[in-house]
Copies of this chain bind each other. A is one copy, B any other.
Amino acid sequence: MSLQLASRTTETLFQPRHVAVSRFPAAARKMAARGEIEVQLEMRHAGTRAVTLRYERVGDPSLPVLFVAGGISANRHVGASDQFSDAGWWQEQSGPGRALDPAQHCILAFDWVGGDGTLDAVIDPVDQATAVVALLDALGIARLSAFIGNSYGAMVGLHLAALHPRRVGRLVAISGFHRAHPYASAWRALQRRAVALGALQCDDSQGVALARQLAMLSYRTADEFDSRFGAAKVVNGRVQVAAEDYLDHCGQQFADRVAAQAFVRLSESIDLQAVDPETVQVPVTVVAVAEDLLVPLADAYDLVQRLRGETRLHVIHSRFGHDAFLKESRAIDGILREALLDIAADADAEALA
């Protein structure tokens, strides 16, 4: 994997580590910043492509850096800050006093390669790990204290840990493991077919909306639907089930913000996940949700058994299934705090060494 940085690097507030942090006033250093870099990315299946990496960081860059990654529909905006005050996709875990506290850590995240819908190519999860390294190089970050990944983000994190062990101190892999389960892959393949069927109308949004609705069923559980929705009704000569309004909302909201090609290429990417756990030697905290329909507990056990570094396993129960990382805020908070204590201990051990 060769990486070539293009000249345009637009961030103004971020401080690469090798520059004295005192050059900026403390207030500025603590501010959040966004930037983008252009790289020539050597991709596993698609040759070398020019891609733009768009990142956001929150917190003083001299603090331990945590790279935070979510599912395929997540992005660089993890949590709100003074500069970027919209709620982030992991708002519950982010901010003063939360597990991802910018007073304690520098939180770094980016938009997935392919996330803007302009890349019409097969994207392997390893390509995202390559892009993470490219970003770290551009920002002068020698080593992440931890990579915290959820779902697809956890898959990418495993590649990063396997291939670039010196760049990451610890991996937290939540609801994403070393392989794509064949059943989950079939479910995603049908979502992509819904997009293809919609595209035949020259109206992507209907297909993307249906794909998202199908995905929602895989992200949640029967118990959650049972607790929220009642019996079907007959409306204007048709049967309307109780969840339809909710699913309509989910589908439309997603179709309004995600391009069909971004969805399809990142959905495909999940299905290419293949990491040999024996190649991972950095410490890993694995978090599995017993009710997850996409990422079964058995795969977490298989992963934990085969990882070669220090390994911790947390199994949580949630009627939100695969979406537990977004919904079980308290359980996830506890797990993140424990993992971050380990990171602090790692740092102390390094300082003593």
Interfacial residues, chain A to chain B (CB-CB below 8 A): 45, 121-122, 179-190, 193-194, 197-198, 200-201, 206-207, 210, 213-214, 217, 221-222, 224-226, 228-232, 234, 237-244, 247, 268-269, 271-272, 274, 293, 296
Contacts and interface: CB of A to CB of B under 8 A. Distances in A.
Contacts of A201: 197, 200-201
Contacts of A234: 45, 122, 272
A111 to B, nearest CB: 21
B225 A183 contact: yes
In the A-B complex, the 5 residue pairs with the smallest Cβ-Cβ separation, listed nearest first, are: A239-B268, A183-B225, A183-B222, A182-B229, A185-B241
A185 B232 contact: yes
Contacts of A225: 181-183, 186
B231 A184 contact: no
B226 A189 contact: no
A233 to B, nearest CB: 9
Most buried by B among A210, A237, A239: A239
Given A182-B230, A186-B229, A268 B238 contact: yes
Nearest to A200: B201
Contacts of A121: 237
Most buried by B among A121, A182, A229, A272: A182
Nearest to A193: B210
A179 B231 CA distance: 8
A226 B272 contact: no
Contact of A190 (B239, B247, B293): B247
A102 to B, nearest CB: 37
A272 B293 CA distance: 26
